[in-house]
Amino acid sequence: MRDRLAATVVAPLLTALLLAGCGGAPTTAAPPPAFDPPTGFGAPTGTLFGGSGTSVFGRDPDALPAALVGTAIWITDGGRVARVDSTGTPVPGTDAPTDRFAAGRPVASPDGGVLVGAGSVIPGSGTTPPGLAVDLLAFDAASGALRWNAPTVLPWTERPPAVALEVAGVVAGVAVLTASTDTQRTALGVDLTSRRVLWSADGVAVDALLADGPAGGTAVGVATAPGGSGAYADSTVVGLDVVTGLRRFTLPEVLRDPRITVAGPGLAVVSGRTTATTLSAPAASLRFVDARGATVRTVDVGRTYTPPRCVWDEAATTVCGGDTRVFAVDAGTAAPLWELPDPAANRVAPQMTTAWHGAVYGTTVNGPVVLDARTGADRDTRPGAAPVLVNAYLGIGVETTGVAGFGGGAAITPATR
């Protein structure tokens, strides 16, 4: 009886071992542990945008053309789209049309896709000059395969490498893509179900999408006269209906170099230099507005040319940071939560790099630090890194070498706690 029992147990075990050794039983690697949010990072496992082949430069983390989607990193560089792993090694399968020049940060869509903007030249003929077309490319986040693309012809022309492309996000089933140069800009609304362009708005660059009810939304952008520089010309902030493209509001304040970022599901931060600004008297503006264009709160940013940069943590808090000050507000109401520095508590303000799911990442003279987004308290004083992009698995940090922005490479660091 004992021998029969042993045979009953051992035989299947030997069979399983033999199958595994011969490749008969498929094995899958266990996914890395997830930390939501991470408060510690290990040593770098790879780099992005390093070496002479990259065309990515600049120190603005908001302009880094990379997105963390699960355990993968999606990037655009040199006109191509790539999906890479935690070592920076490309994962095969991401094939974009070869005649398209992709640019800007990829954006994950609610249907398991990844959206990227791309431009291409429409050949001229005879006395007709070449034209410019832009595409919204939709990839499958899991396989990397191209699902579909939605092209349209723009009313102005430029070589695609000189055209900036930004996917502002997805609201009410509509993605908004902006194509722009310093003097031209056009926003496009693309329906993700019908996969067609619903509307276009020439002279408008959309930076933020806000939800407005269960089936509606607002595309908040900057309107500048054609030919005017986005950095120096007078501009106004406008809100477009995300489904129809019709204008819903225009804010009365005229700004130069306006910046718009999402501050919550239905809230945006609008900042810029006011027309009263002079070399001797800088005057900046920062306000929180809702999807209907109503000002929820204004913030005194003092005498400065550059208002604080604000980041929504994709949960309940928006954190704004400049050279000497960091403060947080509620992402639903813009009510103030905390501010640093705090001389009474002997606490300095960190240089904020980003915020995500209740954590604020940054650096002080003591090195990287993680703060609690709701209270501002120190959450981890030795996180090992201060990423500019982060999710539950990975962080992407500032350049590791070199002096030309991200031209020296951006470090990939795995979350460890």
For residue range 13-39, list pLDDT tens digits in order: 334 433 344 444 444 567 788 999 999
The answer to whether the predicted template modeling score (pTM) of the entire model surpasses 0.85 is yes
- DSSP character at residue 156: S
b/e per residue 191-230 (b: at least 16 CB within 10 A): bbeeeebbbbbebbbbbbbbbbeeebbbbbbbbbeeebeb
* Mean pLDDT, range 293-320, rounded to an integer: 91
User: Can you give the pLDDT at residue 138?
Assistant: 98
Give yes or no for residue 145 having a pLDDT over 50.
yes
Structure tokens, 147: 């699902």
| Measured distance CA(88)–CA(349) in Å, rounded | 32
What is the reported pLDDT for 278? 65
pLDDT tens digits, residue range 81-133? 999 999 999 999 888 888 999 999 999 999 999 999 999 999 998 988 899 99
Give the three-class secondary structure for 6. helix
Contact indicator for 417, 93 with CB cutoff of 8 Å: no
pLDDT at residue 404, rounded to an integer: 42
Report the pLDDT averaged over residues 296-315.
Answer: 89
Confidence band, pLDDT 50/70/90 cuts, at residue 186: very high
Rounded distance between C-alpha atoms, residue 404 and residue 232, angstroms: 24
User: In the chain, what are the domains?
Assistant: 95-263+291-302 (2.40.128.630)
Lowest mean pLDDT among 212-216, 301-305, 317-321: 301-305
User: For position 314, what pLDDT does the model report?
Assistant: 97
Does residue 173 sit in helix, strand or coil? coil
| The pLDDT of residue 17 | 36
pLDDT higher than threshold 90 for residue 340? yes
The pLDDT value given to residue 19: 39
pLDDT tens digits, one per residue of 348-401: 999 999 999 999 999 999 999 999 999 999 999 999 999 999 999 999 987 555
Consecutive H or E run containing 363: strand 359-364
Distance CA 276, CA 280 (A): 11
pLDDT level of residue 402 (50, 70, 90 thresholds):
very low
